[in-house]
Amino acid sequence: MSAIRRFGRIALVFVACTLILFVFHVPRAAGQEGEAAQAPPSSARPAAPADPQQGKNLFEENCSVCHGVNAGGEEGPDLRGVPASLGDAAVQNIIRRGLSGTAMPGFFNISETGAASIVAYLRTLNGSETSGTSSGDPQKGEALYNSSGCSACHMIAGQGGNIGPEITRIGSMRGATNLKERLLDPAANLPKVGGGGMMGNSWTEYAMYRAVEKDGHVVEGIRMSEDSFAIVLKDATGKFHGLWKPDLRSLEKEPGKSFMPGFKDTLSAEQLDDLVAYLLTLKGAQ
């Protein structure tokens, strides 16, 4: 009898273990009544939303030394309005991976969410970049554009000069308020040039310099590139001048100066509105 009892106990233990394994390992049918929905895996959870305040803190810690505490530009360019021009994703990519061939390094220590927060912060700055409307006449504005000689410096769809920036898509990049400000005072939003050094074209575009050679010859122009021993300036005619620094009598920055004249005293308020209305129509290929 003792052997039979032992066998019975073993059988009961085996049956109990089998039931436990069945309960815990056999999946239940999805959508059964009373069954709670399974939580998604952590990798599928959405990323934390961008936080402009966190972005401001990250910007001040990592970016302000080159771009200024308010992103208005120092040795690096003015970043206000850049997300509107390039798009959020492109700016986030530049923050984390840098720009090859320029002084902009990649900040791999900043997470994707951190980069998105910096972009969110940049979008809170200088809202006039893409704001405002114009009640002017675009056709009259186009006539003013041509009669004022704007095409000698600016290019639209491959036509025009290359002294100033191309404006084929200016209407999708700037708003009426910002365009009017730039027409009234073109030099107001140029890069604030810092301490010089090995800086590429992206950082130095439209910054003005005045160089005096040892024979007294003066070259004034936009700094296109510079290193420790040489500088390249583009003058008002579009001609490039490669200058060897040891051969110069002086080399001075000209902050707040631009080849583009202001229209404050040459255009009426109505004409200014017409010109802005025309520029707002320039949105590139649709």
Q: Which range has the worst mean pLDDT, 44-53, 84-93, 133-142, 173-182? A: 44-53
**Is a pLDDT exceeding 80 seen at residue 5?**
no
Please enumerate in sequence order all residues whose Cβ is within 8 A of that of 181, keeping only pairs 6 or more positions apart, or say none.
128, 188, 189
3-state secondary structure of 225: strand
Q: Express each pLDDT in 113-160 by its tens digit.
A: 999 999 999 988 865 555 566 789 999 999 999 999 899 889 999 999
Give Cα 77 to chain centroid, integer Å.
10
Q: Express each pLDDT in 26-80 by its tens digit.
A: 444 444 444 434 444 444 445 568 899 999 999 988 998 788 777 876 667 778 7
- Please tell me the CATH superfamily of domain 52-125, with its number: Cytochrome c-like domain (1.10.760.10)
Q: Is the pLDDT higher at 80 or at 214?
A: 214
Pick the CATH number of 138-186+263-279 from 2.30.110.10, 3.30.300.20, 3.40.190.10, 1.10.760.10: 1.10.760.10
| pTM, to two decimals | 0.54
178-196 average pLDDT score: 68
pLDDT for 277 equals 94
Cα 171 from Cα 133, distance rounded (Å): 11
**Is a pLDDT exceeding 70 seen at residue 233?**
yes
Q: How confident is the model at residue 228 (pLDDT cuts 50, 70, 90)?
A: confident
Q: How confident is the model at residue 271 (pLDDT cuts 50, 70, 90)?
A: very high
Q: Express each pLDDT in 97-117 by its tens digit.
A: 998 878 889 999 999 999 999
pLDDT for 147 equals 92
Give Cα 91 to chain centroid, integer Å.
5
Q: Is the pLDDT higher at 165 or at 10?
A: 165
pLDDT for 211 equals 96
Q: How confident is the model at residue 96 (pLDDT cuts 50, 70, 90)?
A: very high
Mean pLDDT estimate for the chain: 77
3-state secondary structure of 215: coil
172-195 average pLDDT score: 72
**Is a pLDDT exceeding 50 seen at residue 282?**
yes
**Is a pLDDT exceeding 60 seen at residue 95?**
yes
Instruction: Please indicate whether the domains covering 52-125 and 191-253 agree at the CATH topology level.
Output: no
CA distances, 193 to each of 205, 237, 270 (Å)? 10, 23, 35
CATH number of 191-253: 2.30.30.100
Cα 167 from Cα 153, distance rounded (Å): 10
Cα 147 from Cα 144, distance rounded (Å): 5
Domain spans, the chain: 52-125, 138-186+263-279, 191-253
Q: How confident is the model at residue 10 (pLDDT cuts 50, 70, 90)?
A: low
**Is a pLDDT exceeding 80 seen at residue 9?**
no
CA distances, 14 to each of 7, 21, 26 (Å)? 11, 11, 18
pLDDT for 125 equals 82
